[in-house]
Amino acid sequence: MAETAKRIDTHELPFVAPCNDLPVFAALDWIALGWKDFKSAPKISLSFGIFFTLTSYLLTYLGWHWGGVILLFSLLSGFVFIAPVMALGLYSISWQINSGYTPKLTHCFHESIRHLSNELVYSFVLLIIFLIWVRAGSALHIFFPMNSDSEITDFITFFSIGSAVGSVFALIVFSASAFSLPMMLDRKTDAVTAVLTSINAVRKNKLASMIWASTIVLSVFICLLTAYIGMVIIMPVIGYATWHAYKQTIKPNLWPKNKKLSDDNPEYGQNKPSTD
């Protein structure tokens, strides 16, 4: 009892949750587990995938119709930044599957409402980064070679500058979001603690995090090459893999668990299959 009370006393909790030392290619295991979850709940997974795809088409239309190619790339990049918030439902599905429950969309919506305050704080931070990135993306057009006699080196300079600027924003968002949202779903913690925990885990597992980030970038590139069709499958798998990445990386035992699906919760208890 004393130990339980100690866990709930937030004043005695550390500033960040500790993390495990990851193998360099841990991302491969996470992708395999994500694919396993996808096959366990194909209908719900495809629903999320279709939602991501339609949202991408909408952003493309708005960007192309109102601002041209520069705004389009900025909006798509921003969508990649905000996608972790939208993927909270995928983390819930993965949790349900691996806890022995039949996954349901209603539980995903319930979890989103339960964590609305933390989501708003997290989304606000991402929104600020997104707006700055859109502004930076719009400003990059001054480096675009407009003359008909421009050389290949001029284009290389333009893309190099754009890549460098984009990499800075991507590093910030990736470090903050790699493990933070799954932790907020799993444990009673605030957004600041979850974000700092994620940044700390990325810092201590640089190589593994770099491969995981590269895997995500490659997945997004495949989605673009397939005119977003690949998102139908790739985005749910990445979402599930992110949940498993959190479970294998973060050690949040000091923080009390959020009450989600459980046998003693009458709102959800009937959802768990019988073991008889």
Q: Are 207 and 24 in contact (CB under 8 A)?
A: yes
pTM over 0.75: yes
**Across the strands, what pairs with 250?**
19
pLDDT digits (tens, 9 = 90+) for 194-219: 999 999 999 999 999 999 999 998 99
Q: According to the model, what pLDDT value does residue 99 have?
A: 85
Q: According to the model, what pLDDT value does residue 7 have?
A: 47
User: Across all residues in the chain, what is the average pLDDT?
Assistant: 79
User: What is the C-alpha to C-alpha distance for residues 197 and 12, in angstroms, rounded to an integer?
Assistant: 16
Q: According to the model, what pLDDT value does residue 266 have?
A: 47
pLDDT digits (tens, 9 = 90+) for 141-188: 666 666 666 667 766 776 777 777 777 888 888 898 899 989 988 988
pLDDT band at 1 (very low <50, low <70, confident <90, very high): very low
Q: According to the model, what pLDDT value does residue 72 have?
A: 59
**Across the strands, what pairs with 257?**
187
Q: Is the pLDDT of residue 82 over 90?
A: no
Contacts of 146 (CB under 8 A, 6+ apart): none
pLDDT band at 126 (very low <50, low <70, confident <90, very high): confident
pLDDT digits (tens, 9 = 90+) for 16-70: 999 999 999 999 999 999 999 999 999 999 999 998 898 888 877 776 776 655 5
Nearest to 250 by CA among 169, 187, 170: 187
Domain ranges for the chain, please list them: 22-145+152-251
Q: What is the DSSP letter of 258?
A: P
Tokens 């030392």 map to which residue? 21
Of residues 115 and 255, which shows the higher confidence score?
Answer: 255
Q: Is the pLDDT of residue 225 over 50?
A: yes
Token pair recorded at residue 243: 């949940």
Q: According to the model, what pLDDT value does residue 25 have?
A: 96
DSSP of 66-117: HTHHHHHHHHHHHHHHHHHHHTHHHHHHHHHHHTTPPP-HHHHHHHHHHTHH
